[in-house]
Amino acid sequence: MPTITYDKNDLLNLIGNKMSDEQLEETIHLMKTNIESENESEITIELTPDRPDLFGIEGLARAVKQYLGIETGLKKYSIKPASVNIRASDISYRNHIGAAVIRNVNVNDAFIKSLMNIQDVLTDTIGRKRKKVAIGIHDLDKIVPHFSYIEVDKNEKIIPLDQESEMSLSEIIERLPKGKEYGHILSGQEKYPVFTDARGIFSFPPIINSEKTRVTENTKNLLVELTGTDKDAVSQTLNIIVTNFADRGATIEAVKIFRGEKFESTPNLSPSTIDVEFSEIEKWSGVSFHKEDVFELLKRMGYDSVENKGKITIYIPPYRNDILHPIDVIEDIIISYGFNNFTPELPSLATIGSSHPVEKTSSKFRELLVGFGYQEIIRPLMTNPRELFDRMNVKRERIIELENPVSEDYTCLRNWLLPDLMKMMSTNKHVEYPQDIFQVGDVVVHDENEETMSRTVRKAAALIAHSKTNYSEVKATVESLLKQIGMKYTFKDSNLSHMIEGRQAIVLVNNKEIGYIGEINPVVLENYGIEMPCTAFELSLDSI
């Protein structure tokens, strides 16, 4: 979830209404947002990814104004005819572009801050870290028509933003931080996409702008260009940016994008529509609203709406990209009405609750093991092969390993529980003995018959440590455990390398092997630095 810091004075100026901190907070809280922190001059808000139009301070102010009824309904934006053209060639891997000219901007600190903020957050979220959409904003007066979007050789040079001398495009990818961060988007391409003016390259999307078009305090007019892989995402992001500028009093001017003889004019700020049945609103919200109330509620969320043959046709503002289905508008009606104005109601749905059989069995085992005086432990399922096999003196086998572990300690899922107990014991060597600990939990093993090629298995394991523990003790414990559960069991000789030869056994229930018991091999105890005899058992609960 993006977290954005806004200039509080700027926000209040944009809202244009005097509000107390409490009022502001209250309103912001009602809009799918969380206030993370606040001081005299700044307010930091966590926003949800479905409302990128609120990421910019202007968009947030607009929503607050609508919600408070200061300025409701679909906001109209006018676009001046294009005076600037871009000639675009087809670049298969990044073919969608959008552009606009913004005139008469008033570049002050708040504006620059907001500009930087929104660019980064939009390209990170809706732009999927610049892969889907990247944004470039330039001082229009520093470039000279004609503009083109073309592919050029990697050795072509520009002065990148914040640099003093020329670099080739491939040098930028290799050496500059932005190049390293986003270069992978262009990997495998023989040439690189650029925007050029009459004098050369002024933008290298999706990596970096040129120093020569830098926006400064003297900037009056802007060229906004967007490139990306998804047409809708490119145009919606453009809409969010230009409407934000317009809300600051700037003028939006279209740009004609030519492909051969054909051209498309961007941005397109005409509202899209969606039809919603009145009955659906009542069905989902649980409240039967008057039609007029629905229109009013929609206005406070920035929509216009009209009744149309029993349905309601809703005009969606061009900066909203999150309306996929009528339910999305119905949610806005609910938000507009106010969540806390709904009367919660518990329906009378008679159902009988029950626990899962695996949990039921697990609870019984835990109850009995606690009865033996054992302490339960809970450990993570993620571990590594050193713990699972090497320290336990057993051969490595095929387990569920991760392709992208974050640390060497957590590279796979456990396939048995005993290593957890051994590790626990090794970190508690100075704690009073006897130490009797157990764990009832899941392990995961490969199973090609399953949809997920694996199986989650519930196991119970215990480790007993005191100076006189031996095979007889652990056998007596397991016998008693299985007897109490009502299982018929047998034991047979085993040869498991983590236990002492001749002092271990396999446990069978209904002729099926369900686990082992025995005395821990001193080799293993030494590996863990444990100087106390230990016995252990581990049983699979799946067949119990």
Partner 1 sequence: MNKYELTPEGKEYLENSLPEKQLVDLLKEKNSIDFDDAKQIKNFYIALQWALKNKWVRSTGKEIILLNYPEHVPEQEALEKLSKGEDVDENVIEILIQRKLIKKLVYSEADKMVGKEVTTLTPELLKSGLWKQVSFQKYDVNTPVNRIYPGKLHPYRQVMEEIREKLIGMGFVEAKGPLVELNFWNADALFMPSDHPARGVHDIYMIKDPKTGKVVDNDLWKRVEETHKTGWIMGSKGWGNWNFELAQRLVLRSQTTAVSARTLYKLKKENLPHKMFVIDRNFRPDVIDAKHLVEFDQCEGIVVGEGLNFRHLLGYLKEIAETFGAEKVRFKPSYFPFTEPSVEGVALIKGLGWVEFGGAGIFRPEVTLPLGIEVPVLAWGLGIGRLAMIRMGISDIRQLYSEDLRWLREKEVVR
- The residues in 406-425 that bind partner 1, with binding defined as CB under 8 A, are 406-407, 410, 413, 423-424
Residues 6+ apart with CB under 8 A from 109: none
Q: Which is nearer to partner 1, 50 or 71 (CB)?
A: 50
Segment near partner 1 (CB under 8 A); pick from 252-260, 307-315, 366-374, 527-535: 366-374
Minimum CB–partner distance for residue 446 and partner 1 (Å): 8
Nearest of 114, 204, 212 to residue 155 by alpha carbon? 204
Candidates 135, 437, 525, 544; binder of partner 1 (CB under 8 A) is 437
Candidates 49, 145, 502, 522; binder of partner 1 (CB under 8 A) is 49
Q: Which is nearer to partner 1, 39 or 407 (CB)?
A: 407
Nearest of 147, 171, 151, 174 to residue 159 by alpha carbon? 171
Q: How far is CA 254 from the centre of its chain?
A: 34
Segment near partner 1 (CB under 8 A); pick from 90-98, 300-308, 368-376, 526-534: 368-376
Dihedrals φ, ψ of 408, to 5°?
-65, -20
Apex CA 522: angle with CA 520 and CA 527, to 5°?
A: 100
Candidates 40, 190, 292, 432; binder of partner 1 (CB under 8 A) is 432
Dihedrals φ, ψ of 537, to 5°?
-145, 155
Residues 483-542 that bind partner 1 (CB under 8 A): none
Candidates 253, 436, 519, 538; binder of partner 1 (CB under 8 A) is 436
* Binding pattern for the stretch 322-361 against partner 1, x by CB under 8 A and - elsewhere: -xxxxxx-xx--xx---xx-xxxxxx-xxxxxxxx-xx--
Q: Which is nearer to partner 1, 5 or 428 (CB)?
A: 428
Q: Which is nearer to partner 1, 261 or 345 (CB)?
A: 345
Q: Contact between 405 and partner 1 (CB under 8 A)? A: yes
CA 81 → CA 177, 231, 534, distances in Å? Answer: 38, 22, 84
Candidates 451, 467, 486, 511; binder of partner 1 (CB under 8 A) is 451
Asked if 11 contacts 17 with a C-beta cutoff of 8 angstroms, the reply is no
Minimum CB–partner distance for residue 537 and partner 1 (Å): 16
Q: Are strands 167-168 and 157-158 parallel, antiparallel or unpaired?
A: antiparallel
Nearest of 347, 124, 137, 110 to residue 248 by alpha carbon? 110
Residues 282-321 that bind partner 1 (CB under 8 A): 283-287
3-state SS class at 336: helix
Residues 200-259 that bind partner 1 (CB under 8 A): 230, 232
Q: Which is nearer to partner 1, 47 or 110 (CB)?
A: 47
Segment near partner 1 (CB under 8 A); pick from 24-32, 170-178, 193-201, 478-486: 24-32
3-state SS class at 328: helix
How many residues make contact with partner 1 (CB under 8 A)?
A: 92
Minimum CB–partner distance for residue 420 and partner 1 (Å): 9
Angle, helices 231-247/109-124, rounded to nearest 10 degrees: 160
Minimum CB–partner distance for residue 345 and partner 1 (Å): 5
Q: Which is nearer to partner 1, 105 or 240 (CB)?
A: 240
Asked whether the bond before 434 is cis by omega within 30 degrees of 0, the reply is yes
Candidates 387, 442, 473, 542; binder of partner 1 (CB under 8 A) is 442
Candidates 27, 273, 313, 428; binder of partner 1 (CB under 8 A) is 428
In 81-175, alpha helices (H): 109-124, 169-175
d(CA 317, CA 324): 13
- CA-only gyration radius of the chain, Å: 33
Would the CA dihedral through 399, 403, 409, 410 be positive or negative? negative
Nearest of 226, 51, 4, 54 to residue 131 by alpha carbon? 226
Minimum CB–partner distance for residue 352 and partner 1 (Å): 6
Q: Which residue has the tokens 């939990």?
A: 441
* Binding pattern for the stretch 103-142 against partner 1, x by CB under 8 A and - elsewhere: ----------------------x--x--xx----------
